A and B are shown apart, each in its own frame.
Chain A
């Protein structure tokens, strides 16, 4: 069966339009025809086409101009220029402007059918390419985690190995590295996947509230306990409890949690009866628990209870090779969410993304791409679509053996960036006159970064 091939015919002459469309339809293509370049552009804006057959001579916008506009909207759309008068000049112009091919009407049936055959073959190769890319992407993806970095691949393997065990798992990593995603992946890969996945962030709650959240309480346990409430541990029965920011819990809760991990049973606050639950605990922290233990802020016995299996998630700056992969993953995600069809990130924008140090890790990168998708006007993400702080190159910091000139350049750059290249303001802050500042800008070849619109 033929793949769905959609052809747009653009010709001002009705008889040409009709006979070409009819023939293309007989050949099994989906065809739409319009009589002007302007209408063609509207069609290209609205939907995806396999190819456009555009007449060279049309009143108003001619074929070449129409092609130029079409290419701005969809640079990969092959445009075939049709002309009644074959001259070398027009052929050369058409091809130079990016036409896929050039055909003189009336066409020889053999010629047009061969040309379209080639085009369909090209399209099926493109589709195959997209399919293979997706397959490849899947190889680098585990659940919602994306990464081809060796450490990440090791983590994916480890998740598969430990998922079915009952052991407690400790996930360590900076904020935004995807600790919760790893916990979810462990849950979804384990035999507990049909059970609940319950999360509790320990940092957000004061000690007493955290205990109530974790263990639940009986009616009358404290002033506001008007009804009996089940805690997260009970809610997670048969599934996984994810305790985020475990490094932040109080000494009292640490003891209670330790008891639960040892006995696998607990009491609700104010309760007398022991409750037994089947829960796998996955804990996460962005702090170094070992250091907290050394400082006496975290119980050593609890640390060893939690630290049966440890997963260390590398920060994004240590797995830069994953950035392009993550970018395209988020691009696809936010394209769908925002009903956009942004094809890719421009090379200079990608360069900026790669050179940024991402203190907020994958979460920060995701937010950055989401923002870019929302504000991007065309189908290419440009540097101006990125937040300001990413566009400011990380200036080399102070080094002991720096020359005075190097130091001066860095300082001038910093001030200029801070005041958005306002020369008057910057020269005032620097304590020099404007002419001197101009001279120094020229001398050190300091360039202004384009600001976002």
Chain B
């Protein structure tokens, strides 16, 4: 059964996304469908800041996609009106979210595996928000808030028991 739509927006490393999505499907025993939106989200571009407003992308996903849960994937410098940058953003217990690969390359010494691990964690993190999970205070839980890539590297790639329990009950509710 298809439960989540992964929407690749613009130019993104497809192989990395596919690998991460597979890993996520295995972890949570859910199915995800990958879809594409070739156009670059110019509508979300903010000239003054030279960045893309993540909320605009979320708004667009909300109005144009039919799936119940959609996580957009971009390779753009994302920000919000109040934050200088974000790795991703999602509506808490809502329909749409977005994750970017752009800032995950910082300090990765061109090592794709490091970027992959970061991306996988952020994918799980934003998915967690879509299912109503808030930030977790446990340092090794994937729902722990990371303000920079170092903090992403330091946290684990698993949900802690409490977060996993809440996520699973949310997934059961949908069935």
Instruction: Name A's B-contacting residues (CB within 8 A).
Output: 2, 13, 15-16, 18-20, 22-23, 25-28, 82, 105-110, 112-114
Contacts and interface: CB of A to CB of B under 8 A. Distances in A.
B147 A13 contact: no
Given A19-B55, A22-B91, A113-B147, A2 B82 contact: no
A435 to B, nearest CB: 68
A176 to B, nearest CB: 52
Nearest to B126: A26
Contacts of B92: 22, 25-26
Contact of A16 (B81, B129, B145): B81
Contact of A28 (B83, B135, B147): B135
A110 B82 contact: no
Contacts of A108: 83-84, 147
A109 B84 contact: yes
B63 interface: no
A106 B79 contact: yes
Contact of B84 (A13, A18, A107): A107
A15 B55 contact: yes
Contacts of B80: 19, 22-23, 106
Nearest to B128: A26
Given A15-B81, A19-B55, 12 more contacts: A2-B137, A13-B81, A22-B55, A22-B89, A26-B129, A26-B135, A27-B134, A27-B135, A27-B145, A106-B79, A107-B84, A108-B147
A112 B80 CA distance: 13
B120 interface: no
A118 to B, nearest CB: 14
Interface of B: 49, 55, 79-86, 89-92, 129, 134-135, 137, 145, 147-148
B82 A16 contact: yes
Listed residue (A19, A112, A113) with the most chain B CB atoms within 10 angstroms of its CB: A19
Contacts of B137: 2
13 contacts: A2-B134, A19-B80, A22-B55, A22-B91, A27-B134, A28-B135, A82-B82, A106-B80, A107-B82, A109-B84, A113-B145, A113-B147, A114-B147
Contacts of B135: 26-28
Contacts of B85: 109
A110 B135 CA distance: 14
A110 B137 CA distance: 15
A117 B137 CA distance: 11
Contacts of A106: 49, 79-84
Contacts, number: 66
A20 B83 CA distance: 8
A110 B80 CA distance: 14
Contact of B86 (A13, A25, A82, A109): A109
Contacts of A2: 134, 137
Contact of A109 (B81, B83, B90): B83
Please give me the 8 A-B residue pairs with the lowest Cβ-Cβ distance, nearest first: A28-B134, A110-B147, A19-B80, A109-B147, A20-B82, A15-B81, A19-B81, A106-B84
Nearest to B93: A25
A28 B137 CA distance: 10
A25 B132 CA distance: 10
Contacts of B55: 15, 18-19, 22
A27 B79 CA distance: 17
Contacts of A18: 55
Contacts of A20: 81-82
Contact of A112 (B49, B81, B83, B134): B83
A23 B80 CA distance: 9
Nearest to B58: A22
Contacts of A13: 81
Contacts of B90: 26
Contacts of B145: 27, 113
Nearest to A53: B82
B134 A105 contact: no
A18 B80 CA distance: 10
A144 to B, nearest CB: 41
Given A25-B92, A26-B90, A19 B147 contact: no
B133 to A, nearest CB: 9
Nearest to A120: B137
A23 B79 CA distance: 12
A107 B129 contact: no
B94 to A, nearest CB: 9
Contacts of A114: 147
B72 to A, nearest CB: 15
A19 B82 contact: yes
